[in-house]
Structure 1
Amino acid sequence: MRLINIRQDRPLDVICLGRAGVDLYAEEPDVDMIDVAGFKKFVGGSPANIAVAIARQGGRAGIISCVSDDSLGRFVCHSLEGFGVDLQGMKIDKNGSRTSLAVTELKSSGCEVILYRNHASDLTLRPEQMDPDYIRQAKILLVTGTALSESPSREATLAAMQYARVAGTVVVLDLDYRAYSWQSPEESAVIYTIAAGQSDIVIGNREEFDVLEYLNGKHCTDDDHTAQQLLKGRTKIILLKAGEKGSKVYCADGQTFEQAIFPVDVIKPFGSGDSYAGTALLALIQGDSLKQAVRKGSAAAAINISRNTCTEAMPTTEELNAFLATHTEKH
Structure 2
Amino acid sequence: MKNVQDRRIELLLSGRAGIDLNTTKAGCTFADIPAFTKSVGGSPANIVQGAARLGLKTGFLGKVAHDGMGEYILSALQTQNIETKGIVVDKTGARNCIAVTEIISAEESGGYATGGDAFHHGTYLYRQGTADMLYSPADVNRDLIAASQSVMLSGTAFSQSPSREAMFTILQLARDFGTMTVLDIDYRPFGWVSKNETARCYQQVITQCDIVIGNREEFDAVEYLTMPGNKDNTKSAQALLNAGVKLVIVKDGANGSAAYTSDGKVLRCGSIPTAAVKTFGSGDAYAAGLMYGILRKHNLAYAMQLGTACASLALKTISCGDAMPNLQAAEQHRAQHEKEMMP
The normalised TM-score by structure 2 is 0.92
* TM-score, with structure 1 as normaliser: 0.96
1:7 corresponds to:
4
2:41 matched to 1:44?
yes
Aligned residue runs from structure 1 range 66-81, under 5 A: 66-81=63-78
Which one of 288, 298, 317 corresponds to residue 307 of structure 1?
317
Q: Secondary structure at the match of 2:280?
A: coil
Match of 1:115 among 100, 113, 125: 125
Task: Determine whether 1:104 maps to 2:86.
Answer: no
CA distance in 1, matches of 2:254, 2:138: 41
Unaligned runs of 5+ in 1: 1-5
Moved more, 127-136 or 66-75: 127-136
* 1:295 lines up with 2:305 in the alignment: yes
**CA displacement at 1:234 relative to structure 2:** 2.2
Amino acid in structure 2 at the alignment position of 1:266: A
Distance 1:234 1:13 in 2: 23
For residues 132-147 of structure 1, what are the structure 2 equivalents within 5 Å? 132-147=142-157
CA distance in 2, matches of 1:157, 1:216: 23
**Per-residue CA shift, 1:47-76, capped at 9, x if unaligned?**
111101111011111000111001111111
Preserved CA contact (<8 Å) 1:62 1:87: yes
Determine the C-alpha separation between the residues in 1 that align with 2:49 and 2:250. Answer: 22
Note the alpha carbon deviations across 1:72-120, whole angstroms, 9 max, x for none: 1111111111121110100100101110100011342212100001111
- Structure 2 equivalent of residue 3 of structure 1: none
Partner of 1:172: 182
Is 2:331 the counterpart of 1:318?
A: no
> Could you tell me how far apart the structure 2 residues matched to 1:88 and 1:280 are?
25
Which segments of structure 1 move beyond 4 Å, counting only runs of 4 or more?
none
Provide the aligned C-alpha RMSD in A: 1.3
Aligned counterpart, 2:219: 209
Give SS of 1:146's match: helix
Q: Are the counterparts in 1 of residues 305 and 334 from structure 2 also a CA contact under 8 Å?
A: no
Q: Which amino acid aligns with 2:233?
A: D
SS, match of residue 271 in structure 2 = coil
Deviations 1:261-315 (A, max 9, x none): 1112111111111111111111111110111111111111101111221112211
Cα shift at 1:233: 2.6
Measure, in 1, the Cα distance between the counterparts of 2:180 and 2:232. Answer: 27
Gaps of 5+ in 2: 110-121
SS in 2 for 1:218: coil
Count matched residues: 326
Using a 3 Å threshold, how does the CA distance of structure 1 residues 217 and 323 change in structure 2: closer, same or farther? closer
Q: Is 2:257–2:268's contact at 8 Å kept on the other side of the alignment?
A: yes
Following the alignment from structure 2 to structure 1, what is the Cα–Cα distance between the partners of residues 174 and 227? 32
Q: Secondary structure at the match of 2:273?
A: coil
- Of the candidates 264, 270, 276, which is equivalent to residue 266 of structure 1? 276
Deviates more, 1:195-204 or 1:24-33: 24-33
Matches within 5 A, 1:219-298: 219-298=229-308
**2 CA distance for matches of 1:135 and 1:63?**
10
Distance 1:102 1:247 in 2: 27
Structure-2 separation of matches of 1:132 and 1:22: 26
The partner residue of 2:210 within 200, 217, 228 is 200
For 2:246 and 2:335, how far apart are their aligned partners in 1? 30
Asked if structure 1 preserves the Cα contact closer than 8 Å seen for 2:220 and 2:228, the reply is no
CA–CA distance in structure 1, aligned partners of residues 177 and 300 of structure 2: 23
Q: Secondary structure of the residue that 1:221 maps to in structure 2?
A: coil
Contact 1:98 1:118 in 2 (8 A): no
